[in-house]
Structure 1
C-alpha cells in the first residue's frame, strides 16, 4: 500500500470519528449554533433568584384515614430568565408540581386530569401499588380525560416522586416540566429528632438540567439514530430555579434530593468539601447515617442528606455543587443553633435472605441513542417478557454490556417493588446502598445483583431510567400473578 493510499484511509477515519463526535453531541452543537454572545449574556442570569419551594398539595378529605388529591397536567409559561417567558408543562402550575404528602396506612385517591393536547400518564415512582394503579404506559390518560388512582399506603416513610410514563414521549413531557415529589410519613419519621419543618429546615431539591435557545425556549431535540446518552442540558436548575439562592439557619439542615434529569448523572458536594450525612435512599431511611464528601445519583434516584451549617458565620455563602458547577448558593442567617444532632441510629433495615430467592433472572442492557435493548429485545406493549409469582422472592442480575463509545451506563428501575442491592461485580455495595432502592445505576461493563419480593399483582415495567433510552424501547414488562 503506497503512502497516498495510507493517507487517504487515515483521512477517512479521522473525518468519520469527527462526524461521530459531532452527532453524539448534537444538542450541544445546536445550542452553540443558535446562541450568540449577546444571547449567552442574557441567559446567564447573573442575579440570584430565591429558590422556589413547591407547595404541599391540599388533602381534600376530612377523614384522617383517607387522602384525596387533584392533579392537572397542563401547559404553562415560566420566567426562567428575566424578561423571557418560556412555554412549559406542569402539574397544577407552570413547571413541576406540588408535593403530595401522605401517611402510612392511609387510603389515597388521586384524580389526574389531562389538560394537555396529547396523551399522558402519571406514574408513582417508588410507590408499591398494584399494576392497575401504577401509572405506567397501560394507564394512559387521553386529552381532556381524568384518571382515578386508588391505593393504600403500606410502605415506610420515604421520598418518592411522580412523572409521566407515556410510550415514546416520556422524555419530552418530563423535560417540559411534568414531575413532582411524593412524601410518605410514618411513626418512625415522626419520632426521629431530625429536621422536619418543610421549607424551613427540611428542603426539597429537584435537580435537573435543561438547554434553551436564543428565545428562551426549552430545547428538546434528542437526535434519533445517534450515538449519545440521552438529552443532557447545559444549565443546571433546582426546583425550576436557575442560579438559586436560599437563606438557611446556622443549624442542621435536611435536603431531600431527586435527580430529576432525563439522562444525566449528578455528583453532589458542598463547595468547601465538608462532610455531610446521607440518611435515606430511594425507599426510605438507612439504618444509620453515612458520612460522605460527595454523592452520585443517576436519573430517578433520591437521597436525603443532613448538612451541619452551625460552624458557619452570618454572611458566609457556601454552595451546593453539582458536577463541579455551583447549583445552589446558601446564605447563612443569624438564627441560633437548635438541639439537633446527627443521629447515631435511624431504623431497622432487615436484609432479605438470599436463600429465600426462588428464581434468578438476567437482564443485559445494551446500546445508545435509539439503538438500545434489554436481552436483545426492544419494548413491545403486546409482549409480556417475564412472569413472576405473587409473593415470591427473586434475584435479578442486571448487566450493562461494555462498549467503546458508552460513557454513562444505565440507571435501572423496577416498578411495583423496593429492592436491596446484593453486589456490584460480586463486591459488596457501598454503605449508602444498603437500604431500600427502586432505581440503581449500572455502570459500563458492570453487573449489579438485586433482591426483592413481589407483593402486588398486575402488569409492571422494568427499564432504563435514561428517559430517551426508555422511549427508544429499553424497557420490558413483567406480570405478577
Structure 2
C-alpha cells in the first residue's frame, strides 16, 4: 500500500478500499495534503489584485454595497474558457472595505442557476445576517441586510455556505475579501497602500481536465478536494513583480482542503503581524507560517534584503507557490527597522480568570470521508447543539479524536465570533495563535481550549472548514440568546 500512487486512483477504487486492512501510514497518505501532489508554479502569468468595491452610496457613517453571485467564464489557459462563479465578476470577488463603527447595508443578489448564501466569515454580526446554510437565496432572488461593524482592523472574507454545496461553489470561484479598518495609530506606520505596498494573496489549489476545464464533479474527494495546480488571485502559474522594498502580504488560504506551510526559498525571515481576527500584540519574526483552509495571515517582508532579483514563496515540500521578481526601488523606500519590529499593535491577553474557568462545552471532531461527525452526530438543521448567553465568555475544548487508523487533520471554525486560544495540549499557544482567531487547525489527537464570547444573538454554525467535511455533515449549531 505504501507504494501506491493515490493521485492516480479512481474515486470508485478509493470508495471500495477496505480501510480496516490499511496501515496508519496508508491512511495518513490518503489525507487531503497527499492525495494530489501540488505542481510548482512556473511563473508564466503576472498576478492581478481584486478591485476595491465601490459603495452604492455613502452618507456620513452609513455605507451601502451590492454583492452579486454570478456565473461567468474564465480563461485560465490561453484559448480555453472554463465555466466559473464569481462575485460581481467572472471569478473570485472584490475587496469590501469597512470601518469600525460603520453602519453597513448590503444588497445581496443571486444570479446563479442554483441556491446560494452569502457568509461573512470572521464578521461579528447578528446570526440572522451571518449567511449560514438556512439563509438561502434562490436563483434570481435578492435581499438586503444591515449591521454595524464593531470589531478591530482585520482581513476577513466572504463565501457561500449552502449545505451541502459549499465546497463546489467555493471551488468554482466564490470567494471575496473584507478589510476592516480602524484608528490604530501604530498600525498606520505599517505598509497600507493597497496595490502599492499592501497586497492580498488568495491561495487555492485546483485541477483542470485534459481540455483545460475546471470540473469539480470529476475531482471531488470526500476527504477534501485538492488540486494539482496552485492559483494565486485566480491565476494559474502565477508570478509577482514589484519593487525591492518592505511590503505587506495578506494571505488567505481559500483552498477547499489543503494546508500550506509557507516560507521563502532563501530562508529569509519575515514579520507575522496579524491572524484571523486582527493584529497580534507585536510583530513575530518567523521563517515559516502555516495556514489552513479559511485562515488569514498578514506578514511584513523586507525584499530590499534579497540578494539578486528573484525569490520564491514555497510550500514545505519545496513546491513553488509564487515566484517573486524584484526590481530596484527608488531611494528612500521604506525598509524594515527596529521601530516596526517593536511596534505595539494590540493588547490581547488570556486573563487569569479565563485560564481558571471550567470547560463548559466539548467538541469532538472525528472521522474521515462521509463518516465525519462532531460529538458523534451529523448536522441537523432542526437541532440546536449548544446554547450560550450573549456577552458571556465560555471555555470550549476542541478535540480531534484519534482512531485506530490515526485520524486526519481537521480545521475548526465558529461563525460570528473571534475567540482566544488558551492552550494547545495543555501548553501556552505559539505566538502566531495569540491573536484573535475564528479558525484553528488540529492534528489527530490534539486538544485545544478556547475562550468564546458572542457579542450578538442568533443561531451560528461551527464546523470543520475542510469544505467536503462540512458538506458531509461535520457541522453543528449554537443558539446565542
| TM value normalised by structure 1 | 0.89
Partner of 2:314: 321
- SS of equivalent to 1:402: coil
Distance 2:315 2:84 in 1: 24
Compared with structure 1, are the counterparts of its residues 393 and 265 closer, same or farther at alpha carbon in structure 2 (3 Å cutoff)?
same
Partner of 2:4: none
Partner of 1:298: 292
1:190-205 counterparts in 2 under 5 A?
A: 191-205=187-201
Q: Deviations over 1:314-364 (max 9, x none)?
A: x61111113421111111112135234333123232324352557621110
Q: CA deviation at 1:44?
A: 9.2
Contact 1:159 1:302 in 2 (8 A): yes
Compared with structure 1, are the counterparts of its residues 184 and 190 closer, same or farther at alpha carbon in structure 2 (3 Å cutoff)?
farther
Partner of 1:353: 351
Partner of 2:205: 209
Q: Does residue 112 of structure 2 align to residue 119 of structure 1?
A: no
5+ residue gaps in structure 2?
1-16
Q: CA deviation at 1:388?
A: 0.7
Partner of 1:393: 393
Q: CA deviation at 1:21?
A: 6.5
Partner of 1:433: 433
- SS of equivalent to 1:310: helix
Q: CA deviation at 1:258?
A: 0.5
1:165-180 counterparts in 2 under 5 A?
A: 165-180=161-176
Contact 2:31 2:408 in 1 (8 A): no
Distance 1:15 1:191 in 2: 53
Compared with structure 1, are the counterparts of its residues 206 and 417 closer, same or farther at alpha carbon in structure 2 (3 Å cutoff)?
same
| More off after superposition, 425-434 vs 64-73 | 64-73
1:127-276 counterparts in 2 under 5 A?
A: 127-188=123-184, 191-221=187-217, 229-276=223-270
Contact 1:419 1:452 in 2 (8 A): yes
Q: Deviations over 1:423-446 (max 9, x none)?
A: 111011001111110001111000
Partner of 1:383: 383
- SS of equivalent to 2:194: coil
Contact 1:265 1:408 in 2 (8 A): no
Distance 1:28 1:193 in 2: 37
1:397-412 counterparts in 2 under 5 A?
A: 397-405=397-405, 408-412=408-412
Partner of 2:98: 102
Q: CA deviation at 1:250?
A: 1.4
Compared with structure 1, are the counterparts of its residues 30 and 83 closer, same or farther at alpha carbon in structure 2 (3 Å cutoff)?
farther
Partner of 1:331: 325
Distance 1:375 1:30 in 2: 27
Contact 2:41 2:238 in 1 (8 A): no
When the two chains are superposed, the root-mean-square deviation of aligned CA atoms in Å is 2.8
Partner of 1:50: 46
Distance 1:13 1:69 in 2: 51
1:78 to 71, 74, 91: 74
Compared with structure 1, are the counterparts of its residues 416 and 354 closer, same or farther at alpha carbon in structure 2 (3 Å cutoff)?
farther
- SS of equivalent to 1:349: coil
